Structure 1
C-alpha cells in the first residue's frame, strides 16, 4: 500500500493573485492499494465514490499523458480528510497532487517534482495551490510558453497562521465570477508593489512590512461581499497585534499572521468571532517547509 500526505495551502496571500502560495502543516492522507481488478473508495462521501472522483480522474489523466508501461489493474483509495472543503485552503488541490504522486509511483514512471507540478497546473489552471503543496514553504510560480518558473521563499521562524474558517462554503467558480475582466492601471501598480514588498518582507524577515504588503486590488475587494462580516473581521484582526490579514485563496477562510509569542491573539479572535451570526473556527497553523510526501506501508 502507498500512503500520500498532501498539505493544506493558502493561495494569493493578498496581492500574489494566481502565482503566490503558502504551504501549511495540516494534511489530508490518501491510501492507495493495488487490486487485481475494480475500483473502490473508502472514507469519502457517496456522491464522490465513483469514476468521477477527482483523485481517480487525476490518476487517469496521468496515465493518459505519461503513458507508463505499468498501470494498476484495480485500485482502492482511502481518504482521511482533515482540510475543510470549499473554504480556500486547497482541499481540491490535495486530491490532484495525491492522484499525480500516487500514479507516478504505482506506475513506476519516476517523474520529478517539476514534471508533476506541470501536470498539476494543467489540471488546476494555476499554480498558487499545487506548487506549495508539492514543494512546501511559500512559492512563487507561473508558466510561460510551456516553461515552468518557480522559486521558494523561506518563511521566517516563529510566526503562525490563524485560519478563520466559517461554517459556510464558497465555491471557486462563484468567487471567480465576481472578478472584473479588466483592471485599472493604478490597481496593477498597486499589486505589483505590494507583492514585491511582501516577498521582500519574508525574505528579509522584516515582518513590520507584512500588514501593508497584504493589501490587494485584484480580488479581495470584489470577493469581500460574498463573505459575511469580512470587512469587520479584517479590521478587527488588524487592530490587534497581528502581522497582517488576507483572504485565503478564493475564500471564505480569512488568514491572520501573528508571532508565536503572541499568546493573546487566538483568544481575542475567538471571542470576537463568537459574537458574529455565523459559526467560525480558528485553525492555528504554521508553514510547512517540505510539502507532500509518500510512504509505502
Structure 2
C-alpha cells in the first residue's frame, strides 16, 4: 500500500489557524506486513538517525493500530519524503494524516476523509494544515465540538506557487510563544476583514485583490523578524508579479502565488535574488490525501 500526502501552506497572511492550501509536493509512504519491523527514509530526513527511532508516524500508527486490532504486528515502512522538515510546509500534518490513514487501512477499516481529518485534530489542534492535506485545494476551516468544519475550493489551474525555502528550521511551538498575548480592537477587525476578504477572493477568483487581502497584523511581522531576509523575499516577490506573498505557516518558508504565465519570470527573479535559498515552482494540488 502507498499513501501520498501533499505539502501545505497555512495562514496565507491573515487566516491564522484557519486558512490553508495544498501544493504538488508529496510525501509518500509504502507499507507492508513483515516478519520484523523496519524503517527506511529517503529524501528529507534520510540523514537523521533520530527519526528512525523517534518517528512520529510510527508512534501514531502503532497507537491506533493496537487500539483497533488489539495487537502489535510488524511492518516494513519505506518513507519517500519530499516535504522539507520544520519549514512551514506542513510536514508534520502530512505525517499525521498518512499515519492515521495507514493504521485504519492496515486493519481493513476504511475511513472517509472527514473522519481522517477529525482524527488528525487530536494530534494537531488547528486545522489550517491538516484540512488541505486531506482535501487538497484551498480550504477554510473552523473547529466545532472537536470536529473540523471545512469548505474547499479547487484552485485554478492557471495559478502557480513559488516557494522560497531557507536552510533554517523554525519551530511552530516556539514561534507561537512570540505572538502577542492581546490584540487591539482595530488590529482584530483588520485581520477578520482581511481573512474574510481573502477567502472571498479565492471563491470568486478575484486574484488581483489578493495582494491587499493577504496583509496581516497578528503573526507575520514577529515571526519574520526571526529571519529578517524574509522581508526582502516578500518585497521581491510582490515587485515581480506575485499576486500575494506570505509566510508559509510559521516559517521559515515563504509562499507566493502567481499567474501561470508569470511563474517562470518570478521563479528566475527569486533564484537570482536568493541563490542561497531553495526555490520551487509548484502546481497546486486539488486532491489531497491519496491511497494507491
- TM-score grouping bracket, smaller chain normalisation: over 0.9
The TM-score normalised by the length of structure 1 is: 0.92
State how far apart, in whole Å, the 2-side matches of 1:147 and 1:207 are.
Answer: 30
Query: Any stretches of 5+ residues in structure 2 without a counterpart?
Result: none
- Structure-2 separation of matches of 1:61 and 1:151: 30
What pairs up with 1:109-148 in 2 under 5 angstroms?
109-148=109-148
Match of 1:292 in 2: 289
Query: Do 1:19 and 1:128's aligned partners in 2 also have CA atoms closer than 8 Å?
Result: yes
CA distance in structure 1 between the partners assigned to 2:131 and 2:95 by the alignment? 13
CA deviation vs aligned residue, 1:150-196 (integer Å, no higher than 9, x gap): 11022222111100011111111221111122211111111111111
- Classify 1:70/1:158 alpha carbon distance in 2 versus 1 (closer, same or farther; 3 Å): farther
1:68–1:108 Cα contact (<8 Å) kept: no
Counterpart check, 1:280 vs 2:277: yes
Indicate the larger mover: 250-259 or 231-240: 231-240
Q: Is the 8 A contact 1:12 1:248 kept in 2?
A: yes
Match of 1:29 in 2: 28
Q: 1:62 aligns with which of 48, 64, 78?
A: 64
Measured at CA, do residues 83 and 147 of structure 1 come closer, stay the same or move farther in structure 2, by a change above 3 Å? Answer: closer
In structure 1, the residue corresponding to 2:68 is in which secondary structure?
coil
Q: TM-score, normalised by structure 2?
A: 0.93
State whether structure 2 residue 247 is matched by structure 1 residue 250.
no
- In the alignment of these two chains, the number of paired residues is 286
Offset, 1:91: 1.0
Q: 1:191-270 residue pairs with structure 2 within 5 A?
A: 191-262=191-262, 263-270=264-271
State which drifts further: 177-186 or 24-33: 177-186
Please say if 1:47 is aligned against 2:50. yes
Q: Which runs of 4+ in 1 moved over 3 A?
A: 69-72
For residues 51 and 236 of structure 2, the distance between their equivalents in structure 1, rounded to whole angstroms, comes to 38
SS at match of 1:193: helix
CA shift, 1:28, in A, is 0.8
In structure 1, the partner of 2:79 is 79
1:32-85 Cα offsets, whole Å, 9 max, x none, are 11124x4311124321112x3100111133236xx4247561112111111111
Q: Distance in 2 between matches of 1:70 and 1:285?
A: 42
- Written as runs of structure 1 = structure 2, the 5 A alignment for 1:171-182 is 171-182=171-182
Q: Supply the distance in 1 between the matched residues of 2:184 and 2:63 (Cα, whole angstroms).
A: 38
Compared CA separation, residues 158 and 82, structure 1 to 2 (3 A): same
Structure 2 counterpart of 1:91: 91
Corresponding residue of 2:6: 7
Equivalents in 1 of 2:180, 2:77: separation in Å?
39
Compute the RMSD of aligned alpha carbons.
1.5
> Contact conserved, 1:28 with 1:80, CA < 8 A, in 2?
yes
User: Distance in 1 between the 2:22 and 2:234 partners?
Assistant: 22
Which residue does 2:163 correspond to in 1?
163
Structure 1 unaligned regions, length at least 5: none
Aligned 8 A contact 2:172 2:250 in 1: yes
> Distance between the aligned counterparts of 2:13 and 2:146, measured in 1?
26
Which residue number in structure 2 is paired with residue 107 of structure 1?
A: 107
Q: Are the counterparts in 2 of residues 154 and 202 from structure 1 also a CA contact under 8 Å?
A: no
SS at match of 2:123: helix
